[in-house]
Structure 1
Amino acid sequence: MAKPIGEITRGTTGHNRLRRADRWVAAAHGRLLRGADRPLVVDLGYGASHVTTLEMFLRLRRVCPSVEVVGIEIDPARVAAAGPHACPGLSFALGGFELPVDRPPLLVRAFNVLRQYDEARAWEYWEMLRRRLAPDGVIVEGTCSEVGHRAVWVGLDRAGPRTLTFSARFDAFERPSDLADRLPKTLIHRNVPGEPVHAFLRDFDRAWAVSAPFAAYGSRRRWIAAAETLAATWPVAVRPPLGGRSRWRLGEITVSWAAVAPL
């Protein structure tokens, strides 16, 4: 077997750390999974514990009972530790960005994996993963806080990045731009004046500020009002499955990648 492509991560993980991303994947791509024959999902770089891969498997099985999930790790010890937790439809394998699976995956989740690389290498690994997708496949790549209360992820397909999603518990931030520390590697160093993502976060903060009167009805109602304000000037998703009140009430907002892409 060829040497796996990539480097070992810190492996930090924990129960429900990726619940927000899983919930979004089930809503945004459940139909895609259900419409496929033998849908394969890869959880790339699951870390020192199998738990987030198992949780993803159980959550996706609720929306697509035929889905198969493979957790891939570059550390042999982590793969060995996860092995006893395999079950029908769920397995673990040694590997990296080359994705050593028996067929092109329909969906790849890669969380807290690319932050250790420089921006150029992150773009390179995006391209590598995209080439390995099934024709209609998607990638969800992002980062989250240690307990998963703040997260940002990019949605990609074989043609490239399509969306950027911000997700947070309402008690995990003071203003939306606090989520900037979770931006993916391809954007985190671009949060400076003159770059689109900086302008987006600036306007999100302003929308949050002018929506302050809605706080009397709770932070959820304030977030919805801020999203509605922001959607007037930015290409924010306003209809399901990516947007609208059903997503905003969960502390999510998704914007077109083209609007925030690096200059």
Structure 2
Amino acid sequence: MGRSPARRPVGAITRGTTGHNRLRRSDRWLAAVHGGRLRAAVRPLVVDLGYGASHTTTLELFTRLRQVAPGVEVVGIEIDPARVARAKPYERKGLTFRLGGFELPVARPPTLVRAFNVLRQYEEGEAWRYWDVLRGGLAPGGVLVEGTSSENGRRAVWAGVSGEGPVTITFSARFDAFERPSDLADRLPKTLIHRNVPGERIHTFLRDFDHAWAVSAPYGAHGRRQRWLAAVRVLAASWPVPLSPPLGGPARWRLGELTLPWTAVDPR
């Protein structure tokens, strides 16, 4: 019998823009928030979906996760055969690259899937559908982290999605990369970016975050980090901001991060 034809990758080729440390902020969050999940898993597998024109961010993810979960394996998946071919020479034990898309052509369900700057080119309805496709492929207790970053990595927003649905949303920025927190609106996941209009929860949250930032201006005399910390505390009086690790607390806020439960901004 002849071999059956290979399954066509699901999805479309992205621009592929990437660069060193573009996803450092999300890598740091993944290691802190989900490192324990990876250590607890048997043969933990992480998929970096749509890594782009260079292997760089996948290699950085592998290196950083190995520091907190030495047994983790990482597979970089790209829909463009030329990009996969360019990445192949950088494979090593525990790190591989292969052709594919949203169907996740891996040998076993992944504990974690990172998909950054992949869904921006899709319509909102398609983004929701691909969230469902990806979370359906997770190992039990697994998580999808899907988001968008600026090209220099200084501003990013991402959602944490479990097998049951979206759980968290995280805003992250360098303190010199914005004038007010709502500047991060252009990095919102595709499921939210068109919802940033009056009457929607995400719009209300960003409006309130800007207000908290404004009333915390006096703390700016001690630096923008102190102003951010003060603004988050103001915001926590009216929004369900996690106040303790791993999702919240001063140790995370000092990094220019803020995580909320997804239910706080869910447009549905």
TM-score, normalised via structure 1 length: 0.99
**Alignment map for 1:73-152 (pairs within 5 Å):** 73-152=78-157
Deviations 1:19-64 (A, max 9, x none): 0000000000000001111100000000000000000000000000
Match of 1:30? 35
1:49 aligns with 2:54: yes
CA distance in 2, matches of 1:100, 1:237: 35
1:234 to 232, 235, 239: 239
What root-mean-square deviation, in Å, do the aligned CA atoms of Structure 1 and Structure 2 show?
A: 0.5
Match of 2:76? 71
1:200 aligns with 2:205: yes
CA distance in 2, matches of 1:22, 1:154: 13
Q: Percent identity?
A: 72
The alpha-carbon deviation at position 171 of structure 1 amounts to: 0.3
CA distance in 2, matches of 1:93, 1:238: 40
The alpha-carbon deviation at position 238 of structure 1 amounts to: 1.1
Partner amino acid for 1:6? G
What is the DSSP-based 3-state SS (H/G/I as helix, E as strand, rest coil) of the residue aligned with 1:43? strand
1:174 to 179, 191, 196: 179
What is the DSSP-based 3-state SS (H/G/I as helix, E as strand, rest coil) of the residue aligned with 1:179? helix
Deviations 1:163-222 (A, max 9, x none): 010000000000000000000000000000000000000000000001001001111011
CA distance in 1, matches of 2:9, 2:41: 28
CA distance in 2, matches of 1:28, 1:147: 23
TM-score, normalised via structure 2 length: 0.98
Partner amino acid for 1:102? A
CA distance in 1, matches of 2:76, 2:175: 30
Deviations 1:103-144 (A, max 9, x none): 000000000000000000000100000100001100100000
The alpha-carbon deviation at position 76 of structure 1 amounts to: 0.3
CA distance in 2, matches of 1:236, 1:87: 40
**Alignment map for 1:181-196 (pairs within 5 Å):** 181-196=186-201
CA distance in 2, matches of 1:231, 1:163: 15
CA distance in 1, matches of 2:240, 2:110: 29
Match of 1:261? 266
CA distance in 1, matches of 2:204, 2:13: 34
Partner amino acid for 1:221? Q
Partner amino acid for 1:218? G
Partner amino acid for 2:223? G
The alpha-carbon deviation at position 236 of structure 1 amounts to: 1.1
The alpha-carbon deviation at position 10 of structure 1 amounts to: 0.2
**Alignment map for 1:239-258 (pairs within 5 Å):** 239-258=244-263
Match of 2:16? 11
CA distance in 2, matches of 1:236, 1:70: 33
Unmatched segments (≥5 aa) in structure 1? none
What is the DSSP-based 3-state SS (H/G/I as helix, E as strand, rest coil) of the residue aligned with 2:259? strand
The alpha-carbon deviation at position 18 of structure 1 amounts to: 0.1
The alpha-carbon deviation at position 237 of structure 1 amounts to: 1.4
What is the DSSP-based 3-state SS (H/G/I as helix, E as strand, rest coil) of the residue aligned with 1:30? helix
What is the DSSP-based 3-state SS (H/G/I as helix, E as strand, rest coil) of the residue aligned with 1:27? helix
Partner amino acid for 2:10? I
